[in-house]
Amino acid sequence: MATGQAARRLVADVGGTNTRLAAFNPDTGGLESVAYYTNRDFNAFEDVIALWLQGQAAHPAEACLAIAAPPTGDRVDMINMDWSFSLSGLAERFGFTRLGFLNDFEANAYALPHLAEEELAPLKTGERGAQVFAVVGPGTGLGGSALIRGAAGDIARACEPGHVGLSPADALELELFSLLLARHRDLYAELLLSGPGLARLYRAMATLRGTTAQDLEPSEVSRRALAGQCATCEAALDTFCALLGSFCADFVLCNGAYGGLYLAGGIAPAIRPVLERGAFNRRFEEKGLMTALLEKVPRYIITGTTTGLTGAAHAPLR
């Protein structure tokens, strides 16, 4: 690949609410012209790209898009908003010689080897000898991916871990699950390990405690819990972190991702004190015969805000 401005890559991190765009410069290895946009201000994703390109002195030769949508060929239909577009159509309209598309958590996985130390908050240090890494992120939903490093290059794959089963591990969780099973046909991971899931846990916990739940947003549940203002919120957040620890251990074991676990998204940094002192690490390691193995797995919270862009910058274009 040629270097210089002509080889710059447009990179995008497209979520259900916001879009980030930047240019990756292979000469410096850095992101340039980073811009943030609110999706509701635009009728189509193409309009965001067109606006960003207006401010560029040089047109990037290629593009890689990290999008919160399942990979389904040329057509991209976003799940949490009404944007739909053709990848080949984008390439033709904007003159990209190569254009790649990957799931947002694939992008997070490709970013892992390139994150700076200041973008990571350690939950548990350990050995990094293995060459498979996992990234998990509770947010609006629950996503994840694994990265395999090898001589031929890095490989990440899209998957949907948020829809796997979830099980209780103590008496309180058994009560909660019994209550929730009366309201939901299936207790899958994302139902509880997400922003809406935290609010769902809070309401269920209030029922078990015989109190009346307020109509709280997930951010307010975590804020009150961290401030010590609501015992029910604290119990809900503690349970959230415990279940997340068990789920992350399962994901690591299923992928053989013993090189490290990384927590992405906005929730993990916001509840960092509870993740550090609470049941997350204990439940991550409590896996019977696998405990000794999991104790060695490093765990980090990703605190940087451009992880998706970094991943799109380093992902291979197929």
Q: How many CA atoms lie within 13 A of 116 on its CB side?
A: 8
Residue 314 lies in a domain: no
Q: pLDDT (tens digit, 9 = 90+) per residue, 139-179?
A: 888 999 999 999 889 999 888 999 999 999 999 999 999 99
Spell out the alpha helix ranges (H) of 141-285: 171-181, 189-192, 195-209, 218-227, 231-255, 267-270, 272-277, 280-285
pLDDT above 70: residue 266: yes
Indicate the pairing of strand 75-77 with strand 18-25: unpaired
CA dihedral 180, 265, 273, 222 (to 10 degrees): -50
Among 72-76, 100-104, 219-223, 284-288, name the one with the lowest average pLDDT.
72-76
Same structural domain, 74 and 190: no
At 248 the pLDDT is 98
Number of domains, the chain: 2
Residue numbers of the domain that contains 196? 105-303
Tens digit of each residue's pLDDT (9 = 90 or more) over 109-134: 999 999 999 999 999 987 777 899 99
Which of 74, 96, 118 delimits the end of a domain? 96
Give tens-digit pLDDT for 9-36: 999 999 888 899 999 999 899 999 999 9
Domain with residue 122: its CATH number is 3.40.367.20
Report the alpha-carbon distance of residue 217 to residue 302 in Å, rounded. Answer: 23
140 shares a domain with 89: no
Say whether both 126 and 158 belong to one domain. Answer: yes
Question: In this structure, what CATH number is given to the domain that contains residue 10?
Answer: 3.30.420.40
Q: Give the pLDDT confidence score for residue 126 in this predicted structure.
A: 79
| pLDDT tens profile 193-234 | 999 999 999 999 999 999 999 999 999 999 999 999 999 999
Q: Indicate whether 120 and 199 sit together in one domain.
A: yes
pLDDT mean over 97-113? 94
Same structural domain for residues 133 and 181? yes
d(C-alpha 55, C-alpha 224), whole Å? 42
- Does residue 140 share a domain with residue 84? no
Q: Determine the pLDDT at residue 184.
A: 93
Residue 312 lies in a domain: no
Quote the CA–CA distance of 208 and 235 in Å, as a whole number: 11
Are residue 38 and residue 152 in the same domain, yes or no?
no
In what helix (H) or strand (E) does residue 107 lie, and over which residues does it extend? helix 104-111
**Above pLDDT 70, what percent of the chain?**
97
pLDDT of residue 15: 85
> Would you state the pLDDT for residue 72?
75
Measuring CA to CA, which residue among 85, 26, 36 is closest to residue 61? 26
318 assigned to some structural domain: no
